[in-house]
A and B are shown apart, each in its own frame.
Chain A
Amino acid sequence: MNEREVRINVNGQPCTARVEARKLLADFLREDCGLTGTHLACEHGVCGACTVLLDGEAIRSCLTFAVQAAGREVTTVEGLAGPEGELNPVQRAFQEEHGLQCGFCTPGFVVSATAFVRDNPDPTDEEIREAMSGNLCRCTGYQGILRAVRAATHVARAQPE
C-alpha cells in the first residue's frame, strides 16, 4: 500500500525501487540497494550509526524517508573509497589511529567525519569533539576516534582538494 517508485543516485549509481512512503532512507539503502554498510541502531536519530551524505551534507538516514531523497545524491560509507578501493583520508586515519573496536558505529563516524573534515580542515580539539558528539560508540573508544579525526585534518590540509 502507498507504494511508489523512488529513484535515488547512490554512490554515483541510480537505484530504483518501489517502496512504501514510510520506508526510511536507511532501510532503502540496506534492503533495496543492498548497501548494508549504513547501520541502524537506535532508529530515532540519537546514535548516528546511519549517517550518510545527502547532496554532500551529513544527515541521519533514519530521520529521512526514502521518498524525500528521490532524485537526489546519496553517498554511503561504501562510496567513500577511491575507484581502486583506496581508503579516503578519514578511513585511513581510523585504521591507523585505532579509531574502531567492534566497528558497528564506524560507518556513521567515518561519514560524519568525512563531511566535517571537508568543511573544517583546521578545527580545534573542542570543535572535533563537538562535531563527533552526534555519533555514539558503545565500545566507548572515543579517544582513538578523536585522534583519527585529528590525523585526517592533517592529511586534508596537506593535500587540499
Chain B
Amino acid sequence: MKPAPFDYRAPGSLAEVLSVLAELGDDAKVLAGGQSLVPMLSLRLAAFPCLVDIGRVPELQGVHRDDGTLTVGAATVDRVVGSDQEVVTSVPLLARVTPLIGHFQIRNRGTLGGSIAHADPAAEYPAVAVALDAEIEAASSRGTRTIAAGDFFQGTWTTALEVDEVVTAVRFPVWSGRCGFAVEEFARRHGDFALAGAVCAVELSESAEVRRCAIGLFGLGSTPLRAQEAEATLVGRAPSAGDLVEVARLAADGTDPPADLHASSRYRRRLGAEMVRRALSRAIEEAKA
C-alpha cells in the first residue's frame, strides 16, 4: 500500500524545524530516517497532515566526545553509530547493539534519534539509553530541555516529548576503568525485533568485585526496562556462575512481557532471564580480561 497524502517540509536548520513544529502543532510528525515511520504510513497504521524532514539539518548530525560524555546527534545514521571510532571506544554498547538493528540497508537510513523518539519497547538503542542513564536533549521554540532516559519512555511508541519538540541529541555517560559490556538478544530471524534482550555494563574493582552494574531489558514490557534490584545485588560481589543465574532470574522476575503468537509472556520472561545471564557473564569476562 501507499501512504495517505501529506504535506512535506524539509527545513535546512534546527531553528527552522522548531518554528515549523511550533506552527503546525500535532499536525506535524518529524521524519528522520523513516525506517519505522514510513512502513507505518504505508500500512496506513498512521497518517499525518505534514511530515517535517530533519534529514537536511546539519546541527543534528555527528558524534562528539566531551570529558565524560558522548553526544550523538539525533539524525546520525545507525551505520555511523556502529562504526564511529569514538563510539566504539567511548560507549561500546552503542556500537555493539547496532549490527542487531534490522539489516545494513536499514542501518544506512535509520537514525539513533529516530529510534529513541519512536520508542519501540523491543528496540536496542532505547535499552542502551535506559541502562546507561543517558540524557535526551529535546528542543522546541520554547527552549531546550534534558530528559533522563528513565523518564523519557512512557509506553509503547509513547514518550515524554511534547508535540512541538524534537530530539536533537542523546548524551551517553562514558564508563571508564575496568569495564565490560555485552548485549544478548533472541530474535526468530536475524534483523527481526527481539523476543527478549538484555544489555549489560559492569565495572570491576581491582579485586574483581562488581563496583558498578547496569542492566537494561528490551522486549519485556511496554518500555525498555532497568533491572535495578538485580544490579544492586551484584554490587560489592564477585559473582559465581550460579550467582548470575539467580541475579538474571531476579532481573526478569518483575517484568510483565507481552504475549503474542511468537511467544507467551512466561516464555519471554524466561528468555529475558537467560539473555541477562549471558550478557552479564560476557560483560564480566570482558572486564576481567
Interface residues of A (CB under 8 A from B): 1-2, 4, 20-22, 24, 27, 43-45, 48, 51, 54, 57-60, 62-65, 67-68, 112, 116, 130-131, 133-134
Contacts and interface: CB of A to CB of B under 8 A. Distances in A.
B10 A67 contact: yes
Interface in B87-111: 99, 102-106, 108-109
A63 B103 contact: no
A2 B6 contact: yes
Interface string B117-152: 000000000000000000000000000000000000
B interface SS class: loop
Interface residues of B, number: 32
Contact of B5 (A20, A59, A62): A20
Contacts of A59: 105, 108-109
B10 A131 contact: no
Given A44-B39, A44-B43, 5 more contacts: A2-B6, A21-B7, A58-B108, A62-B42, A64-B38
A39 B51 CA distance: 26
Given A2-B5, A22-B6, A48-B103, A133 B42 contact: no
Nearest to A43: B42
A59 to B, nearest CB: 5
Contacts of B2: 22, 24, 27, 43
Contacts of B51: 21
Contacts of A116: 104
Interface string B158-199: 000000000000000000000000000000011100000000
A62 B153 CA distance: 29
Contacts of B190: 130, 133
A22 B106 CA distance: 19
Contact of A57 (B10, B79, B99): B79
B53 A134 contact: no
- Pick from B53, B79, B102, B103 the residue with the most CB of A within 10 Å: B103
A24 B99 CA distance: 26
Contacts of A112: 104-105
B82 to A, nearest CB: 13
Nearest to A71: B56
A136 B43 CA distance: 19
A63 B6 contact: no
B105 A51 contact: yes
